[in-house]
Amino acid sequence: MKPTPKPLKPLDDALADLLAQAVPLPGADTVTTFDADGRVLAQDCISALQVPPQDNSSMDGYAVRSADVTAPGAELPVSQRIAAGSAGEPLLSGTAARIFTGAPVPAGADAVLMQEDCEALNAAPGASSGEGGTARVRINAVPHPGQWIRRAGEDVTRGAVVLAAGTRLSPAELGLAASIGLHQLQVARRPKVALFSTGDELVMPGDVPPEQMRPGAIYNSNRFFLRAMLLRLGCEVTDFGIVPDRRDATIDALRQASNAHDLILTSGGVSVGEEDHIKPGVESLGRLDLWQIAMKPGKPFAYGQILREGGTAHFMGLPGNPVSSFLTFALLVRPFVLRLQGVRDVAPKSIAATADFTWARADKRREFLRVRRREQGGLELFGNQSSGVLTSAAWGDGVVDNPAGRTIAPGDTVQYIAFSDLLS
Ligand code: AMP
Ligand code: MG
């Protein structure tokens, strides 16, 4: 009697179940702000000062009391010169201060005129010349109070949580942390991930040249993108290479990998064929939930835990087909690994876009179609959507998240997820 197939698990349910297991890892590292790109903050960054620290000029020009310039053509003596990095004196009424971008606006001044609206006049004969002397300025515009002044604290107020724990740092965040004086940051420690591929057909590029590949052999492609994606997510990766399709070898590799790793990630061998040893292997060392996920490509996916001395290691098994492996990583492993580092918002963002293609075959599963954006704004579909065709992922710049049972006609609005959001 044929066993009744397990019902397919909706992708969102699978992700919710996984995230429930992804308890953030204990421990944190202190790194210099320079080296923190891609890491996840383990602590709030709270500002001990306001940014900018004082009102300052956003132009090269002249600082004035706006009440002193009520009509174009007013002439004022230049009473001081304030460059960035220096602090001026309170502005004497009826005078202007020569001022440069970033310099503090002197007390008493309430507006800056850009130098293009001003004419520096020669000092009177016999008087000391030059800016800061008794030179005068003609002002050809009428300032309104506050113009060209960047307000103290307009970026950051003192005591504000500038970046919250759980924020993944990218270049802008590094600059922001530096702007409040932080040269070191507390970040989540890197997840330690053991990676291996299963499959007797696999050969590592470099081990055998293409013309000498034996019949049935293929190059191991999954290892390359899985490793690269893990590294981009801040993981430390130990590569356990290719594990042969044998029960004992699989168990050995799993046992070894569970030591000193937070997560074991494998590709291939995760179905229930005779040559698929992951399920019994993991079950002999811990527990495994094998899921048939209602997504295409991607169906088989496994999550489990392997018992080891002093705790457990997470296990995730990806399908062998390259595009399935790629997308299950992006949609399930990536959020999991980010959550291990304490990231709260791990769901990829999809945006509405217009299809410039036809998709006539509605599937029972939610599909992720490889597409790319056209200059005109619409989305173009890659011709071959087979789960083995990795060219589709290199050609595309994202996927359309297409619900089960939906066909697509040109002009339809679809949900697009950029690879830049899925792979970074
Ligand atoms: P499996 O999930 O082991 O049944 O493999 C499914 C398909 O993916 C087979 O055609 C395998 O040859 C292929 N495959 C498995 N692992 C890899 C890999 N690391 N690189 C490229 N193709 C793979
Ligand atoms: Mg296999």
To test the ligand 1 pocket, which listed residue (218, 245, 275) has its Cβ within 8 A of the most ligand atoms? 218
Q: How far is the CA of 199 from the centre of ligand 1 (A)?
A: 7
Tens digits of residue pLDDT in 157-174: 999 999 999 999 999 999
Distance CA(296)–CA(221), nearest Å, equals 20
pLDDT in tens, 143-158: 999 999 999 999 999 9
CATH of domain 56-150: 2.170.190.11
Same CATH fold assignment for domains 11-26+190-340 and 56-150: no
Residue with tokens 């002009």: 411
Nearest CA to ligand 1 atom 5: 320
List beta partners, residue 156: 51
Structural tokens at position 322: 């390259």
- Distance from residue 21's CA to the centre of ligand 2 (Å): 27
Pocket of ligand 1 contains residue 271 by CB under 6 Å? yes
- For residues 369 and 354, the answer to whether their CB atoms sit within 8 Å is no
Ligand 1 atom 6 nearest Cα:
320
**Ligand 2 center–CA 384 separation, angstroms:** 22
Tell me, what's the pLDDT at 7? 84
Q: With 70 as the cut, is the pLDDT of residue 133 above it?
A: no
Cα of 220 from ligand 2 centre, angstroms = 11
The fold of 11-26+190-340 is Molybdenum Cofactor Biosythetic Enzyme; Chain A (3.40.980)
Mean pLDDT of all residues in 89-95: 97
Residue 271 vs residue 402, higher pLDDT: 402
Residue whose C-alpha is closest to residue 97's, from 126, 127, 55, 125: 55
Whether 421 has a pLDDT exceeding 50, the answer reads yes
Average pLDDT over residues 393-403: 98
Give residue 124's pLDDT band: very low, low, confident or very high (50, 70, 90): low
Span 237-247, mean pLDDT? 94
Pull the structure tokens for residue 173. Answer: 């965040």
What is the average pLDDT score of the chain?
A: 94
Instruction: Pick the range with the lowest mean pLDDT from 68-72, 189-193, 286-290.
Output: 286-290
How many whole angstroms from 257 Cα to the centroid of ligand 1?
Answer: 21
Q: DSSP state, 296?
A: E
Per CATH, the homologous superfamily of domain 350-422 is MoeA, C-terminal, domain IV (2.40.340.10)
Q: How does residue 355 score in pLDDT terms, banded at 50, 70 and 90? A: very high
| Calpha distance 279→294 (Å, rounded) | 19
Inter-helix orientation angle 247-258/278-285, to 10°: 50
Calculate mean pLDDT across residues 25-47: 97
Which residue CA neighbors atom 16 of ligand 1 most closely?
320
Domain ranges (residues) in the chain? 11-26+190-340, 29-51+157-188, 56-150, 350-422
CATH topology of domain 29-51+157-188: Molybdopterin biosynthesis moea protein, domain 2 (3.90.105)
Q: Lowest mean pLDDT: which of 174-188, 278-292, 399-413?
A: 278-292
- The full DSSP string for 100-132 is -TTPBPPTT--EEEEGGGEEEEPPPTTS--STT
Residue 412: pLDDT band (50, 70, 90) is very high
Nearest-CA residue for atom 14 of ligand 1: 320
pLDDT band at 131 (very low <50, low <70, confident <90, very high): very low
Q: Is 222 in the pocket of ligand 1 (CB under 6 A)?
A: yes
The answer to whether residue 122 scores a pLDDT higher than 80 is: no
Strand partners, 150: 56
